[in-house]
Amino acid sequence: GDSVTQMEGPVTLSEEACLTINCTYTATGYPSLFWYVQYPGEGLQLLLKATKADDKGSNKGFEATYRKETTSFHLEKGSVQVSDSAVYFCALTPYGGTDKLIFGTGTRLQVFP
Amino acid sequence: GAGVSQSPSNKVTEKGKDVELRCDPISGHTALYWYRQSLGQGLEFLIYFQGNSAPDKSGLPSDRFSAERTGGSVSTLTIQRTQQEDSAVYLCASSLRPGTGINQPQHFGDGTRLSIL
């Protein structure tokens, strides 16, 4: 079945460092891809999405590009802030399905001043 | 507020008891999803409702779990004869109608933290 694999955490960075969180997927057809974020004490929020190959999703300085050839959707940010500390989840919805989300295991990001 | 509302926010109960968790979706959202977030299993899909269609129950882990959605709005997730492995955060999400060729984002509630003693 469809699945998502993302890098283990925690990822620990200093403020203004570059961030990459790797995400790869296994799916038939053309799934839609997402990054969700869960800030401490808060609910899951959609960070960005991409619905077809070569699409780039972006929000709050974060970007991710839908790479069909490598089945990847890596999350990147050029300069992280302390306020970016959260758990990040890569997810997909299967092609032609009910839009149920299949999540990766999550990656905790800790940014220190 | 206009977001997805879940209640209770926390529930502690004894093993073997039944529990009911409630979700109020965003007004006008026809799709409703339940997920479970646990340490051992991460975030898992449980069940999906869309309008008057038969629900997709493919993620329910056992027949102790059931859910209903009355009037196309409020949903209740029921767990019978709870076990310790049911301890988790149960998340509800809603969205506009999916499957229309436009992927509709899901909006999540803050969840119900369920602890089974």
Q: pLDDT (tens digit, 9 = 90+) per residue, B46-103?
A: 999 988 888 999 999 999 999 999 887 999 999 999 999 999 999 999 998 765 556 6
Residues of B in contact with A105 (CB under 8 A): 42
Over residues B16-29, the pLDDT tens digits come to 999 999 999 999 89
Across the beta sheet with A19-21, the strand order is: A19-21, A75-77, A62-65, A56-59
- Which residues fall within 8 angstroms of residue B54, CB to CB, at 6 or more apart? none
Burial B26-55 (b: 16+ CB within 10 A, else e): beebbbbbbbbbeeeeebbbbbbbbeeeeb
Q: Report pLDDT for A26.
A: 95
Q: What is the pLDDT of residues A63-76, one digit of tens each?
A: 999 999 999 999 99
Q: Which residue has the higher pLDDT, A99 or A81?
A: A81
pLDDT for the residue numbered B41:
74
Q: Which residue of A has its CA nearest to B101?
A: A96
pLDDT score of B94:
93
pLDDT of residue B81: 97
If one counts every other C-beta atom within 10 angstroms of the C-beta of residue A48, the result is: 19
Contact B99 A98 (CB under 8 A): yes
Residues across chain B: 117
The beta-carbon neighbor of A105 closest among B42, B59, B99 is B42
Assess whether pLDDT exceeds 60 at residue A7.
yes
Q: Which residues of A are less than 8 Å from B44 in CB distance? A: 103
pLDDT > 90 fraction of chain A, expressed in percent and rounded: 81
Min Cα–Cα distance to chain B from A98, Å: 6
Contacts of A102 in chain B (CB under 8 A): 45
